[in-house]
Amino acid sequence: MSNSYTATPGIVAGALTVNGPITSLSDAGITIGAGAPFVRLFKSTIPSLDLTWNLGTDRNTRDNAGQIATEILADNSANALRGTQRNAAGTLLNFQFDQTIAQDGTPVTNTGNVTENTIYSKLIPANTLGPHGALIIEFQFIGNVQGATGTTWRLKLGGTTVISEVRVATVNSMWRVVVQQSNATGAQRWNQNEITSASVASAFTTTSAIDMTGDQTLALTIQSGATTDSWTVGGWKVHAVVGRAAAL
């Protein structure tokens, strides 16, 4: 560098400002703290990007064996941040963060036609779920007007109708659907739970064989039985999209 100097033994006294990128040729990364326990940012042997508290770059040794240790890492085994915790006794717990990929609280009212209309949709990119991934879909139906011919709502993935329900009464309902990959990228279990304003609760399971190694669109649709029917969807949330190559 211009105006260079030699620091021995590699220590710069005082603050250091660098106007440009820094390249480290060591996986050991950066250790932060005037004393133990330290915070570290490094590349581990997995390989992964690791951020640790009280945990060395071997991902095992604690600076202070009497305190907990926490690790957050990103690698190729999952599509979400994951981590580990060690309690004061050193017992290891692996965990992974859930993610929200769709959240829309805009109420949408469907009326005036008998066409199947898409209310909400979200593209699920290829390989998002892996063989052990899962996601949770939550939404609300509000019945305004319903005639003798039922209104049908559908939950679709990749254009395939996985769940289809017919409504002949104007009850409100809350839905929670858990989609679980069945140890394969092309097999799913759909665990569905509903509770209505009439205090009726139901739960059932169905399966599908949709290839998640390609892009697939998740969609919620409604098709009225008559043009005078009116239903409002009070928003949806798609979360816990935790893709994994192996069981946790």
* Rounded distance between C-alpha atoms, residue 129 and residue 216, angstroms: 11
Query: What is the per-residue pLDDT across 19-53, written as a single tens digit (0 to 9) for each?
Result: 999 888 899 999 999 999 999 999 998 899 999 99
What amino acid occupies position 15? A
Decide if 248 contacts 181 (C-beta within 8 A): no
Q: What is the dihedral of CA 151, 156, 162, 167, to 10 degrees?
A: -10
CB atoms within 10 A of CB 181: 21
CATH 2.60.120 range(s) for the chain read: 100-242
Beta-carbon contacts of 144 under 8 Å, excluding residues fewer than 6 positions away, are: 109, 111, 170, 230, 231, 232
Class (C level, CATH) for 100-242: mainly beta
Q: What is the pTM of this model?
A: 0.83
Sign of the torsion formed by the C-alpha atoms of 247, 83, 212 and 239:
positive
pLDDT in tens, 144-190: 999 999 999 999 999 999 999 999 999 999 999 999 999 999 999 99
pLDDT digits (tens, 9 = 90+) for 84-129: 999 999 999 999 898 999 999 999 999 999 999 999 999 999 999 9
